[in-house]
Structure 1
Amino acid sequence: MVTATDATAEPSVSAWAPLRTAVYRSLWLALLAANIGTWMQTVGAQWLLVHQANASTLVALVQTASLLPMLLLALPAGALADTFDRRHLLISVQLFLVAVAAALTLLTAAGRMPPALLLTLTFAFGVGQALTLPAWAALIPELVPREQLRAASALGSISVNVARAVGPATAGVLIAKVGVAPVFGLNALAYLVFAMALIRWRPGDARAVEVPERFTAALRAGGRYVRHSPTVRRLLRRALVFVIPASALWALLPLVASRRLGLDSSGYGLLLAALGVGAILGGLLLPWIRTRVTANRFLLVAGALYGGALIVVASVQVVPVVLIALLPAGLAWVTVLANVNAEIQLFLPGWVRARGLAVYQVVQGGGQAAGALLWGLVADVSGLVVAFGVAAALMLVGAVTSQIWPLPDLRGASRDPAAYRPPLALALQPDPRVGPVLVTVTYRIRPEREAEFFEAMEHVRGSRQRTGAMRWGLFRAGETPDQYTEVYLVPSWDEHLRQHGGRLTEADEQAEYRARDLSDGAPEVRHLLPATAEWTTGVDRQAT
Structure 2
Amino acid sequence: MHDIGASWLMITLSPTPVMVALVQTATTLPIFLLAIPAGALADIVDRRSYLIVVQLWLALIAGLLGFMTLTGITSAWSLVTLTFAMGIGSAMMMPAWAAITPELVPRNELQSAIALNSLGINAARTIGPALAGIIVSYAGTGAVFVLNALTYCLVIFTLILWQREAPISELPSERFFSALRSGFRFARHAPDLQAAIIRGFGFFLFTSASWALLPLLAKNLENGGPQTFGILVASIGAGAVIGALLLPKLREKISRDMLVALATIAYALTMFALATVEQLIFLCLAMGVSGMAWIAVLSSLQVAAQMALPNWVRSRGLAIFMAIFMGSMATGSLLWGKVAEMTSISEALMTAATGAVIAALLTWRWHIGGIEKADLTPSMHWPAPMVHDSVTHDRGPVLVTIQYAVQSDKTSEFLTMIRELSKRRRRDGAFAWGVFEHTEKPNHFIESFSVDSWLEHLRQHERVTHADRILQAELRTLLINGSEPVVTHYVAPKSTTGRGKR
Q: Give the TM-score category using the shorter length.
A: 0.7 to 0.9
Aligned partner of 1:519: which letter? Answer: L
Is 1:187 aligned with 2:187? no
Q: Which residue of 2 aligns with 1:512?
A: 472
Is 1:496 aligned with 2:457? yes
1:176 Cα deviation from its structure 2 partner: 6.3
Q: Taking structure 1 as reference, are residues 196 and 331 closer, same or farther at Cα in structure 2, changes over 3 Å only?
A: same
Aligned partner of 2:321: which letter? Answer: Y
1:75-108 C-alpha deviation (Å, 9 max, x unpaired): 0111111112212221232234344455556777
Q: Which residue of 2 aligns with 1:221?
A: 182
Q: Which residue of 2 aligns with 1:522?
A: 484
Q: Distance in 1 between matches of 2:229 and 2:106?
A: 40
Q: Distance in 1 between matches of 2:361 and 2:468?
A: 32
1:33-87 C-alpha deviation (Å, 9 max, x unpaired): xxx5x45xx727974x7877x6868877655544332122100111111112212
Equivalent pair of 1:153/1:342 in contact (CA under 8 Å): yes
1:163-199 C-alpha deviation (Å, 9 max, x unpaired): 4444354445556666666654433332222112111
Match of 1:69 among 5, 30, 35: 30
Equivalent pair of 2:55/2:153 in contact (CA under 8 Å): yes
1:378 Cα deviation from its structure 2 partner: 4.3
Q: Taking structure 1 as reference, are residues 474 and 299 closer, same or farther at Cα in structure 2, changes over 3 Å only?
A: same
Bigger shift: residues 155-164 or 220-229 = 155-164
Q: What are the residue-to-residue correspondences of 1:120-139 with 2, within 5 Å?
A: 122-139=83-100
Q: Secondary structure at the match of 1:487?
A: strand
Match of 2:210 among 240, 249, 254: 249
1:213 Cα deviation from its structure 2 partner: 0.5
Q: Which residue of 1 aligns with 2:260?
A: 299
Equivalent pair of 1:150/1:287 in contact (CA under 8 Å): no
Equivalent pair of 1:80/1:215 in contact (CA under 8 Å): yes
Is 1:145 aligned with 2:122? no
Aligned partner of 2:208: which letter? Answer: S
Is 1:471 aligned with 2:432? yes
Equivalent pair of 1:305/1:328 in contact (CA under 8 Å): yes
Q: Distance in 2 between matches of 1:61 and 1:397?
A: 26
Q: Distance in 2 between matches of 1:462 and 1:433?
A: 25
Bigger shift: residues 305-314 or 358-367 = 305-314
Q: Distance in 1 between matches of 2:37 and 2:460?
A: 21
Aligned partner of 1:240: which letter? Answer: F
Instruction: Name the count of aligned residue pairs.
Output: 492
Q: Which residue of 2 aligns with 1:15?
A: none
1:201 Cα deviation from its structure 2 partner: 1.6
Q: Distance in 2 between matches of 1:431 and 1:376?
A: 56
Q: Distance in 2 between matches of 1:98 and 1:272?
A: 23
Q: Which residue of 2 aligns with 1:84?
A: 45
Q: Taking structure 1 as reference, are residues 347 and 404 closer, same or farther at Cα in structure 2, changes over 3 Å only?
A: closer
1:284 Cα deviation from its structure 2 partner: 2.3
Q: Secondary structure at the match of 1:202?
A: coil
Q: Secondary structure at the match of 1:497?
A: helix
Equivalent pair of 2:133/2:229 in contact (CA under 8 Å): no
Equivalent pair of 2:23/2:83 in contact (CA under 8 Å): yes
Is 1:435 aligned with 2:396? yes
Aligned partner of 1:530: which letter? Answer: A
1:418 Cα deviation from its structure 2 partner: 1.0
What is the TM-score normalised by the length of structure 1? 0.79
1:529 Cα deviation from its structure 2 partner: 2.4
Aligned partner of 2:257: which letter? Answer: N
Bigger shift: residues 443-452 or 168-177 = 168-177
1:431 Cα deviation from its structure 2 partner: 2.8
Q: What are the residue-to-residue correspondences of 1:358-373 with 2, within 5 Å?
A: 358-373=319-334
1:445 Cα deviation from its structure 2 partner: 2.1
Q: Distance in 2 between matches of 1:348 and 1:132?
A: 18
Q: Distance in 2 between matches of 1:176 and 1:400?
A: 43
1:446 Cα deviation from its structure 2 partner: 3.3
Is 1:323 aligned with 2:284? yes
Q: Taking structure 1 as reference, are residues 411 and 360 closer, same or farther at Cα in structure 2, changes over 3 Å only?
A: closer
Equivalent pair of 2:264/2:360 in contact (CA under 8 Å): yes
1:525 Cα deviation from its structure 2 partner: 2.5
1:264 Cα deviation from its structure 2 partner: 2.7
Q: What are the residue-to-residue correspondences of 1:40-59 with 2, within 5 Å?
A: 43=5, 47=9
Q: Which residue of 1 aligns with 2:166?
A: 206
1:437-496 C-alpha deviation (Å, 9 max, x unpaired): 222222222321201211220221111011011121112232333321212121222111
What is the TM-score normalised by the length of structure 2? 0.85
Q: Taking structure 1 as reference, are residues 115 and 274 closer, same or farther at Cα in structure 2, changes over 3 Å only?
A: closer
Q: Which residue of 2 aligns with 1:31?
A: none
Q: Which residue of 1 aligns with 2:500?
A: none
Equivalent pair of 2:21/2:213 in contact (CA under 8 Å): no
Q: Distance in 2 between matches of 1:333 and 1:108?
A: 32
Q: What are the residue-to-residue correspondences of 1:340-379 with 2, within 5 Å?
A: 340-379=301-340
Is 1:531 aligned with 2:493? yes
Equivalent pair of 1:78/1:354 in contact (CA under 8 Å): yes
Q: Distance in 2 between matches of 1:371 and 1:499?
A: 39
Q: Which residue of 1 aligns with 2:249?
A: 288
- In structure 1, stretches of 5+ residues that fail to align are 1-35, 536-544
1:297-325 C-alpha deviation (Å, 9 max, x unpaired): 32332233223323333344555444333
Is 1:455 aligned with 2:416? yes
Q: Distance in 1 between matches of 2:410 and 2:435?
A: 16
Equivalent pair of 2:198/2:366 in contact (CA under 8 Å): no
Q: Distance in 1 between matches of 2:350 and 2:60?
A: 46
Q: Which residue of 2 aligns with 1:23?
A: none
Bigger shift: residues 181-190 or 438-447 = 181-190
Q: Secondary structure at the match of 2:439?
A: coil
Q: Distance in 1 between matches of 2:106 and 2:349?
A: 40
Q: CA RMSD in A?
A: 3.3
Q: Which residue of 2 aligns with 1:445?
A: 406
Equivalent pair of 1:435/1:529 in contact (CA under 8 Å): yes
Q: Taking structure 1 as reference, are residues 473 and 199 closer, same or farther at Cα in structure 2, changes over 3 Å only?
A: same
Q: Secondary structure at the match of 1:442?
A: strand
Aligned partner of 2:38: which letter? Answer: A
Equivalent pair of 1:154/1:335 in contact (CA under 8 Å): no
